[in-house]
Copies of this chain bind each other. A is one copy, B any other.
Amino acid sequence: MARSESRLANDAWEALLTAHARLMKGFAAEDMWDDISMREYDVLYTLSKHDGPIRPVELGRDVLLSQPALSRMVERLVDRGLVARAADPVDGRGVRLSLTEAGRGAQRRIGGRHAVDVSRAVKRALTESEMHQLEALCRKLAAGERLIQDDHFKSEQEPQR
């Protein structure tokens, strides 16, 4: 008997959570992070993906940290000379972040080693075709969520309360 669509959705999400936790544990156990934590690397990597300076609020969308925690982590990275923080010329409240040369260097150094482990873990389990599928599915999942938050459609029905 077929699972209900809701059950199917929850099972898929649980599988994703389990895969995430298992692989992350494995990566964290690797002795290759020097003095940069995985969360800090996450910030450096996200900064490296974008070319120009970006706002902390942008960073916050992809990094799993509260706004105050992100604010302070950026502060620490600035103090360590890995991130540059400048006032936003357009928005007086805002701040613009970018990697320093040292920051970019650190990201490349760690990233190169990390990519080897990621590649090894994924290749061990999936074929090339499956990697393509997984990427496409996860992109769709992430894209669905992004729209909601941007357009404030979240309260489309406002369940109870």
Contacts and interface: CB of A to CB of B under 8 A. Distances in A.
Interface of A: 5-6, 8-13, 15-26, 29, 31, 61-64, 115-116, 118-119, 121-126, 128, 130-146, 148-149, 154, 159, 161
6 contacts: A10-B122, A11-B135, A16-B138, A22-B61, A23-B142, A125-B141
Nearest to A123: B9
Contacts of A154: 26, 29
Contacts of A124: 144, 148
B18 A138 contact: yes
Copies of this chain per assembly = 2
Contacts of A133: 133, 137
A62 B128 contact: no
A115 B31 CA distance: 37
A15 B64 contact: no
A11 B126 CA distance: 13
B10 A142 contact: no
Given A10-B122, A12-B126, 8 more contacts: A8-B132, A11-B135, A18-B138, A19-B141, A21-B62, A116-B159, A125-B141, A134-B138
B13 A142 contact: no
